[in-house]
Amino acid sequence: MVLFIAFVSFSYAQISDTLTFADNKSSRLKYLKSIAIEEQEKCEKATFLEKFNIDLTSFKEAKIVKDMRFKKEPSDTAENCKSVIPSGSIVKLFNFYPNEKYWAVKYENKWGFLPDKSVKCFD
């Protein structure tokens, strides 16, 4: 009987250690994934800023008038990004492209383009 109790205690301890190891490994993987995503966002931002000559010191704030998706280029035919910017959100407007009537926009560390008619600038 004592041998059985010792075996059960030992088995429980092994299971507990295995679960703890799995939790730690899962936490480490989540952390590494978050670091990779953050680095990817930094690279995308740098590429976007360079490609479209964005001046970070000159911007306006505006309110989104209806739910919108970013465009990857300042054009009606450009591909949409996955993120939706909810109506009423506050965004930062940078360069304006008058021929296309699009703004370069930053919202929650994401960059893209929105049509002029989708934003209302603060005076």
Q: What is the pLDDT of residues 95-120, one digit of tens each?
A: 999 999 999 999 998 899 999 999 99
Structure tokens at 52: 């479209």
CA gap 55, 57 in Å, rounded:
6
pLDDT of residue 17: 63
pLDDT at 1: 56
E strands along 43-89, which residues? Answer: 60-64, 68-71, 80-85
Phi/psi for 83 (5° steps) reads -70, 140
Encoding tokens for residue 46? 């740098």
Structure-token pair, residue 4:
């059985």
Predicted confidence at residue 11, as pLDDT, reads 57
8 pLDDT band, cuts 50/70/90, is very low
- pLDDT value, residue 71: 93
Please write the tens of the pLDDT for every residue from 30-84.
888 777 767 766 777 788 888 999 988 999 999 999 999 999 999 999 999 888 9
pLDDT level of residue 19 (50, 70, 90 thresholds): low
The DSSP bridge pattern shows strands 119-121 and 110-115 to be: unpaired
Structure tokens at 74: 């300042």
